[in-house]
């Protein structure tokens, strides 16, 4: 990876972008891709779209989502402790003893998820932490002091953990789901520019908001762009670490390449083009099967308008929705390369219908 690309990756991942509050991260992303696009637009809720060849009639989307799971302050006790609601799929089990950023009206306030010491608990009666039992301590001793800090019901909270590398092979941190996807589609735009490649269609590089609460950003932007083709990238579960059951989770490994998904929302001819591209360019890949839905923005694009030929290229990830989400460096490179190479094989007015 270029030093400049890694610098952006680190800055982008470390910047909080909770669902519904993605603005600052979106600004960073847009600033990075501006040299590689012809134009851009931002929608009402903050999805950003960089466009190459904006006047072309045939439109191809490459997309990731920008938001990360988080919490909302829901109740403040008279003693100054904060109870929360989820904003997305936040896991209360990993919260106790973690440090957080609380985005108050007067700026970021540091806080911690407190938890009673082992000495004072009846261990035999211990239960897993839940959203009803976890709480934040921001150093206040009363509800009035909390208010003076600029914290109120509805204030958003994220973990403060930042990017690190593990054994020089893995990137580790919070919010790799799915800002690493935003990084990869931005890198595709950069590669097209740096390599002097021109496309016969309009390319829309989309960084969508609000995926974590139901694919909402993708739903909105798919209707606005009305594309002909959409290639989505998101993360998927590595199933090699303990506590996974391969019979249900599939056999997916970090380090063994992008994951190409089969499922009703995935257009078969587009998927097969991606597979043949991987084979022709010696990009390793894995396969996965979805059920009724992929659970990603692929579904929103596929079923928008009159139907959009859509496919999903996933990045294997360990420990999803924790503060130590983990991806392999090689997989990041190979997902980026596979999207790039696939774009070079899509023709103007490419007809992906099964028959006509």
Q: pLDDT tens, 116-160? A: 999 998 889 899 999 999 999 999 999 999 999 999 999 999 999
- Reported residue count of the chain is 356
Query: Is 211 labeled as catalytic in the residue annotation?
Result: yes
Distance, CA of 288 to CA of 143 (rounded, Å): 49
> What integer pLDDT is reported at residue 175 of this predicted model?
95
In the chain, CATH 3.40.630.10 covers 3-68+174-344
> What integer pLDDT is reported at residue 257 of this predicted model?
98
Question: Is 251 within any annotated ligand binding site?
Answer: no
Distance, CA of 219 to CA of 306 (rounded, Å): 13
CATH number for the segment(s) 3-68+174-344: 3.40.630.10
Class of domain 71-159: mainly beta
Q: Among the options 211, 219, 341, 347, which is catalytic?
A: 211
Buried b / exposed e across 75-111, counting CB within 10 Å, b at 16+? ebeeebbbbbebbbebebebbeebebbbbbeeeebeb
In the chain, CATH 2.40.30.40 covers 71-159
Question: Is 234 within any annotated ligand binding site?
Answer: yes
Give the pLDDT confidence of 70-121 residue by residue, as tens digits.
Answer: 999 999 999 999 999 999 999 999 999 999 999 999 999 999 999 999 999 8
Question: Is 119 within any annotated ligand binding site?
Answer: no
The residues of the chain scoring below 70 in pLDDT are: none
Question: Is 272 within any annotated ligand binding site?
Answer: no
* Collapsed DSSP state (helix, strand, coil) of residue 123: helix
> What integer pLDDT is reported at residue 269 of this predicted model?
98
């Amino acid at each position: 990876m270029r030093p400049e690309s890694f610098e952006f990756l680190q800055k982008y991942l470390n910047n909080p972008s909770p669902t519904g509050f993605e603005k600052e991260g979106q600004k960073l992303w847009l600033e990075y891709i501006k040299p590689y696009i012809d134009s851009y637009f931002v929608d009402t809720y903050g999805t950003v779209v960089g466009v190459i060849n904006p006047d072309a009639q045939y439109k191809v989307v490459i997309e990731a989502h920008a938001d990360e799971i988080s919490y909302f302050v829901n109740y403040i006790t008279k003693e100054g402790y904060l109870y929360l609601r989820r904003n997305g799929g936040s896991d209360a089990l990993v919260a106790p003893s973690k440090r957080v950023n609380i985005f108050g009206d007067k700026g970021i306030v540091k806080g911690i998820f407190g938890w009673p010491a082992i000495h004072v608990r009846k261990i035999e009666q211990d239960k897993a932490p839940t959203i009803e039992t976890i709480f934040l301590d921001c150093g206040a001793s009363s509800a009035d002091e909390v208010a003076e800090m600029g914290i109120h019901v509805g204030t958003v909270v994220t973990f403060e953990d930042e990017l690190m590398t593990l054994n020089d092979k893995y990137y580790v941190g919070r919010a790799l789901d799915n800002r690493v996807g935003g990084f990869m589609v931005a890198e595709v735009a950069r590669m097209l520019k740096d390599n002097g490649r021109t496309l016969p269609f309009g390319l829309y590089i989309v960084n969508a908001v609000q995926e974590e609460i139901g694919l909402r950003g993708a739903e909105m932007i798919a209707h606005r762009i009305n594309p002909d083709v959409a290639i989505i990238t998101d993360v998927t579960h590595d199933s090699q670490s303990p506590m996974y059951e391969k019979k249900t989770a599939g056999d997916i490994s970090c380090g063994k390449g992008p994951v190409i998904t089969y499922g009703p929302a995935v257009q078969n001819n587009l998927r097969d083009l991606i597979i043949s591209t991987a084979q022709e360019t010696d990009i390793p890949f894995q396969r996965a099967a979805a059920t009724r839905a992929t659970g990603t923005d692929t579904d929103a694009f596929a079923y928008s308008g009159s139907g959009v030929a859509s496919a999903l290229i996933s990045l294997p990830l360990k420990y999803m929705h924790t503060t130590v989400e983990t991806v392999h460096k090689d997989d990041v490179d190979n997902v980026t390369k596979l999207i790039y190479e696939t774009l070079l094989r899509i023709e103007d007015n490419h007809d992906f219908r099964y028959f006509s």
